[in-house]
Structure 1
């Protein structure tokens, strides 16, 4: 990792000890077998959908007209207290299909023009998920539909992973004995594309980053089930479960660590390296960490 970090003069996740096996740069330093081992060590897995929720989602197959969608969504009446997941799924689908009913979807020239105007003024929505004083996840949003644009690359490859690692560092201090079990999730929204990122520390002190997506939601009634249902399952339900599981791990941690001068310190994940500030003059005693 040090060799790769020294290779780049610009900021790279390796400088913050973050490793994504999807980054082609690592192919020069790890064999395919080693990359596979990194992926499968205490692997990151998505929670399985409950059978009832999966059945409800699949019931929207072959519903390709607005009348079919509206008629099908009326056939179910879920109890929010005893069937919270199904109730949430139905409400989400109702809100989404209402966008077609009231002609908010598919996108028109005016809505596309509005997106361009938002991009010009730099409007951005950031979200931090937290309970009490502890953060459990985050989200970055932008207007561009191209996940490879500068903003999408910066947020998905640098900004969000570094933020997730900061969250991970704080959570592991709450339950140091569970450092290798804690996983944090974040989302990057680029226009109609949504990508899920999960970061953890399966061993040692390097964090591992896994991305799932991007998932696209096109404003088409014909492709509503094919595009929106997987997005609803992954981005909302499974991401929510990941965060709830982390909450349970943190709250279950009852390990008591007494202060000690000579004793070993509890394991910790090193923090991210501060981002370099552009336009600042280097002091005479400042050392370039990339060239030393």
Structure 2
């Protein structure tokens, strides 16, 4: 079976390019990339490519595809984030306007101040991001109060009728308190990984409550454990292999035996270039997402319709920064990962529009993406007229199956401790 997948991997149009006939690459370049050092036993350089994962932001593809080809891979099948409701959009607009108005008032005061030079006023007017427009501590405190007052004007929201709006109101109120009492500052400067999780990121977990998704923290992944141990069996040739311990992600999104999302969190050590952040966002998270994808597809008997529609979401939280990964299988046998831009929550309230608000928008859109995947799985299990049980071989005759390549396990480089 391993040899079969290696041979299929050489057929670029079928595997790597997801059946796109518009893109072609030199045979030798991909052969070198995929065979030498990747699928041989030594595995000197381990990568998601081993597991048939094509991360469109992975730098290794820049030497294989040109920019227009990469863009085609990103846009294949045109799967977009789901849109949240108008009520949430209106709330975001209100808060953005309050922040913009506060800056406009600051600009007006600069222009009318007799102590400010005309040159400084001109600079502030032409460049809103200039230092002349920096709000004072008093201005920032007044802005927090004004935002809270606008939030209070909305009144109580019934979570049973408008849960997303309810969550958004509660979450913004939570972050206003983090700004008001300088919590974000001390967490950013002196906080541990657990401080970032407890004080900042867990509030986002609650967005999934109304769709009955369990947000399991510090818990093993059912999918990763299953995929890593699926070869354990009574084969008659050797004893049952020892159970393999799987990676424990920081968050697993679980419902009815299926996992739809994962998160890796941490305290960044070197502003996006630390080893822990690189490994967890570029290797660990994609592999866990692939395990979840394979497990969900297997739960649905590897039905091709389910596999093509399924999407798994990954959250990457490091320090106050967040980006979202989305895995799908647009065509062929490769699982594609697309990434959003990375946003950072500023410790300055007047900069919420460029950090916190986009993160809340991404969280809502990710939730709706997961909700659509849940619907795909649930619809498969909805009884139909042709749902009569039979032998597996007989049932397979009437269905189109798509079995994706397995994960390649990371080589264990840790020396075993002597007993």
Q: Secondary structure at the match of 2:313?
A: strand
Deviations 1:110-147 (A, max 9, x none): 8623338989xxx9971111012111111111011622
Cα distance, 1:26 vs structure 2? 1.7
Deviations 1:33-90 (A, max 9, x none): 4333322221331112322211111100233512211211111022222222111110
Gap change, CA 1:49 and 1:205, over 3 Å in 2:
same
Which of 261, 277, 281 aligns to 2:412? It is 277
Contact in 2 for aligned 1:5/1:12 (Cα 8 Å): no
Deviations 1:190-234 (A, max 9, x none): 111111000011111111011112110011111123321111010
Which of 179, 187, 192 aligns to 2:315? It is 187
Match of 2:333 in 1: 205
Which of 217, 225, 237 aligns to 2:364? It is 237
Contact in 2 for aligned 1:174/1:253 (Cα 8 Å): no
Which of 114, 130, 134 aligns to 2:254? It is 130
1:162 aligns with 2:287: yes
Q: Secondary structure at the match of 1:179?
A: helix
Which 4+ runs in 1 deviate beyond 6 A? Answer: 116-119
Gap change, CA 1:87 and 1:267, over 3 Å in 2:
same
Map of 1:250-269 to 2, 5 A cutoff?
250-254=377-381, 258-260=391-393, 266-269=401-404
Matches of 2:357 and 2:193, distance apart in 1:
27
Contact in 1 for aligned 2:84/2:368 (Cα 8 Å): no
Larger helix proportion, structure 1 or 2? Answer: 2
Moved more, 26-35 or 154-163: 26-35
Q: Secondary structure at the match of 2:403?
A: coil
Matches of 1:169 and 1:116, distance apart in 2:
30
Contact in 1 for aligned 2:83/2:368 (Cα 8 Å): no
Gap change, CA 1:258 and 1:218, over 3 Å in 2:
farther
Q: Which runs of 5+ in 2 are unaligned?
A: 1-8, 11-30, 38-43, 103-142, 197-217, 219-247
Match of 1:48 in 2: 83
Matches of 1:25 and 1:172, distance apart in 2:
28
Match of 1:71 in 2: 149
When the two structures are aligned, how many residues end up with a matched partner? 275
Gap change, CA 1:246 and 1:117, over 3 Å in 2:
closer
Report the RMSD for the aligned CA atoms in angstroms: 2.8
Moved more, 149-158 or 1-10: 1-10
Larger Rg: 2
Deviations 1:93-114 (A, max 9, x none): 0111011233323x13x86233
Match of 1:21 in 2: 56
Larger strand proportion, structure 1 or 2? Answer: 1
Matches of 1:278 and 1:125, distance apart in 2:
20
Instruction: Report 1 or 2 for greater relative contact order, CA contacts < 8 Å, sequence distance ≥ 6.
Output: 1
1:141 aligns with 2:220: no
Cα distance, 1:21 vs structure 2? 2.3
Matches of 1:81 and 1:117, distance apart in 2:
31
Using the size of structure 1 for normalisation, the TM-score is 0.84
Matches of 1:116 and 1:25, distance apart in 2:
30
Using the size of structure 2 for normalisation, the TM-score is 0.60
Match of 2:93 in 1: 58
